[in-house]
Amino acid sequence: MTIVEHYFAGSARARTPDGDRLSPVYNPSTGEVARQVRLASVGDVAAAVAAAKEAQPAWAAMNPQRRARVLFKFKDLIEQHIDSLAELLSSEHGKTVPDARGDIQRGLDVVEFCCAVPHLQKGEYTHGAGPGIDVYSLRAPLGVCVGITPFNFPAMIPLWMLAPALATGNAFILKPSERDPSVPVRLAELLAEAGLPDGVFQVVHGDKVSVDALLDHPDVKAVSFVGSSDIAQAVYARGTANGKRIQAMGGAKNHGIVLPDADFDQAVEDILGAAYGSAGERCMALPVVVPVGEATAEELRRRLVAGIAKLRVGVSNDRDADFGPVVSAQHKAKILSYIDAGVEEGAELVVDGRNFTLQGHENGFFVGPTLFDRVKPKMRSYQDEIFGPVLQIVRAAALDEAIALASQHQYGNGVALFTRDGGAARRFVETVEVGMVGINVPIPVPVAYHSFGGWKRSAFGDHNQYGTESIRFFTKTKVVTQRWPDAGGAVASGSAFVIPTMA
């Protein structure tokens, strides 16, 4: 059986790994083991960091325009291979092939943005800040940086991290999810083909052993993480305790608020896609819908039930499927347990997806679309992130109550409002306590030249992902104050014993 190997210093075969632990990689559509992935030891991590530390100075010394050319060639290669990458991604994750293409494309948008690094990494300059004194700043790379990425976007999120890290002159080590590890290795191969020097980008597979080793290694300067909130908080605490710069993105429970004046045809289509696309395995999915007013709730429920009945669940390579299986048997069991909990807590189970099976693929990790109504804020199934094809209706009497629901939740990643009322939309934007807001946009993931990041337990750290925020995260500022004597002259003599000013 094929073993997915680490990508050390330019090749999957560049170093014999210390670790002999293997983990299964499943085809979620069949439930069968498709391949295995090798898990790193502490020694493997140390070797990757050492190689990255050795390679980074020469890469940083390369002018930013040349680094941008490597990224541009990398972008071109991904576009050439996007079909095979999407099929590979789909086979390990379970999302449909068209959805996998979207995964890759949203990552490519950030690579494209980072091709402008000669401009993005520019500092500032002030001529004549004082008598004969000029001041300028520059943005320097940090050194060896790390990305720890989740299973749900095995291309997009690694690309969100590696592109700004590499563009700004850092070396980068990626620790992807062991559940779908093949696409990250393929990205490493394409980076090498694009001209990236050996050792500047490496892929180390693993579990908690490798994560802890990366967080503890003194030569790792920064870590970017995406995963569940509990782990994000632990990564942030351990990394910052070790003196590292950390951005750690966590979970979500995004709300879609529907006002009585909304375009119901469009809102229902948007909610169905946002709630059930990718089997709900998105941190920007829309698992909670909040209709304002009983009439709105009844009409929305009726339309949602009719829309759910038309959804097609299929294998990942079924081009006509709306969504495919979830990633693993363990994750399926977790989702089913939350549906059970919702029933036990007294929510009304309107559509039950627990017993869904696909003929010929009975062992696949499928969960059917599920809909709850009359969910209450104190229910555990509402408070927790389910991360599956489960949509919950929480009824509100007024817009302020709906805003409070989203604002008071422990997560603050994304929120959407469906309305034709500009005044209500403006008040919503100003008052809701959530990091990313959509107005008639169900999944408000910002474009690549803005930035991605939630509030509260959805994000730990001071910097968002991609956009100019990522350039700041992966660089440090050096400020130079300089004074030169006139030609043939001399700097005024005499010691100054008071704080210097530019007056």
Residues noted as catalytic = 283
Pairing of strands 21-27, 32-39: antiparallel
Separation of alpha carbons 368 and 24, rounded Å: 25
Can you tell me the distance from the alpha carbon of 315 to that of 365, in angstroms, rounded to the nearest whole number?
Answer: 10
Query: In this structure, are residues 376 and 382 in contact, taking their beta carbons and an 8 Å threshold?
Result: yes
- Rounding to the nearest 10 degrees, give the CA dihedral for residues 86, 52, 230, 101: -10
With residues binned 3-state (H G I as helix, E B as strand, rest as coil), the percentages for the chain, rounded to 5, are: 40, 20, 40
Distance (Å, whole) CA 396 – CA 400: 9
* The CA-based dihedral angle spanning residues 122, 127, 129, 130, taken in that order and rounded to the nearest 10 degrees: 150
Task: State the DSSP H helix or E strand holding residue 54, giving kind and residue range, or none if neither.
Answer: helix 42-61
Distance CA 181, CA 175 (A): 9
Helices (H), 261-397: 264-276, 294-309, 329-345, 380-383
Tokens of 385: 């992130």
Q: How many CB atoms lie within 10 A of CB 495?
A: 4
Q: Token pair of 84, please?
A: 């095979």
Closest CA to 23 of 39, 41, 34, 8: 39
DSSP 289-300: EEEBSHHHHHHH
Which residues on neighbouring strands pair with residue 23, listed in sequence order?
37
What would you measure as the largest C-alpha separation in the chain, in angstroms? 89
Between the alpha carbon of residue 156 and those of residues 109, 150, 365, 427, the distances in Å are 9, 10, 23, 33
Three state DSSP letters for 124-140 = CEEEEEECCEEEEEEEE
DSSP 283: T
